[in-house]
Amino acid sequence: MSTPRPPEMLQPTAAAQARAAQALAEGGLVAFPTETVYGLGADAGNDRAVASIFEAKGRPHFNPLIVHVPDDGAAGRLVTVDERARHAMEMWWPGPLTLVLPRRPDAPLSLLVSAGLDTVAVRCPGHPVARALLAAAGRPVAAPSANRSGHVSPTTPLHVAEEFPDGAGGKLRLILAGGRCPIGLESTVLDLTGERPLLLRPGSVTREELEAVLGPVDRATAADGVKAPGMLTSHYAPALPVRLEAAAPEPDEAFLAFGPDQFIRGGRERLNLSPTGDLHEAAANLFAMLRALDKPGARGIAVMPVPETGLGAAINDRLRRAAAPR
């Protein structure tokens, strides 16, 4: 029996995109960049291929997947698009907003992408590599973040290779190496199946921005259940325990700072999400810096407070899940 090989890493040329599209058509997995994080993609209409995503990630089968589409017309063949969804698509697509909408009875999708629900999470990514892949594939692509379930999400192609050194048992055919993801946080997820919009996962499209277009938006609670990716209590977690709201690190802790920190002493190793307190810079750095600090030798990772305003709400959501009991 042959030993699975690491996935091939390719620059996203037209030839590489064609190979990636062929791999998807054959039921394989392909990792590719979006503006948020790297995705682990499969043909969303192929049951075996979608099952391979769950197997590769060790992902709970009750956690739905996001289906990536090239435009609102392609989304309309999968889900029912009402006026609110149309407004949201016009405003933020292509971009980092995922919409949870009623699944069309004739949608050519594996039932696994919905994890038993009668809804589908759909997104039109804005990253040029992701858009070229969707065009070459000519099919909707199911793609959660390209990491083991619960681990810190990948924002570079090397992160993906580290997560799947054996190519997920040979299922991950190749990685389209499109550089670092510019946003660095997963997409905002908005449920539009109820009377009022429900924010399932905060992201770079903020609640305030959504409410300016759609009116009042409720925030999901544990009672809403797992209706979209990223809603598990413990998620995006490093191997080391994470301590939040830390004014300073203990001597045996790594330290993740935010804002000016030159007078803070202690700790083993430190990184700063944004020395100037820029929340967009902090979001882009969050997952990469958590990965960099998650090394043997430290007892844990201490994290300075991050403001809860604007994009800070999404950053703090990821940090709280990283720090949750496992």
**Residues annotated within a binding site:** 36, 59, 63, 68, 119, 123, 143, 145, 153, 187, 201, 236
Q: Determine which helix (DSSP H) or strand (DSSP E) holds 219, and give its type and residue range.
A: strand 218-219
Summarize the annotated binding site for L-threonine as residue ranges. Answer: 36, 68, 123, 143, 187
- How much of the chain is in helix, strand and coil states, percent to nearest 5? 30, 20, 50
Query: Which CA distances in Å does 53 have to 42, 82, 114, 129, 159?
Result: 7, 30, 13, 20, 17
CA–CA gap between residue 57 and residue 151 (Å, rounded)? 9
Contact indicator for 164, 28 with CB cutoff of 8 Å: no
50 Cβ partners below 8 Å, 6+ apart?
42, 43, 44, 65, 110, 112, 113, 142
What amino acid occupies position 226?
A: V
Summarize the annotated binding site for ATP as residue ranges. Answer: 59, 63, 119, 145, 153, 201, 236
Determine if residue 259 is left, alpha or beta; phi over 0 gives left, psi from -120 to 50 gives alpha, anything else beta.
Answer: left
Task: Give the dihedral of Cα atoms 85, 87, 89, 95; nearest 10 deg.
Answer: -120
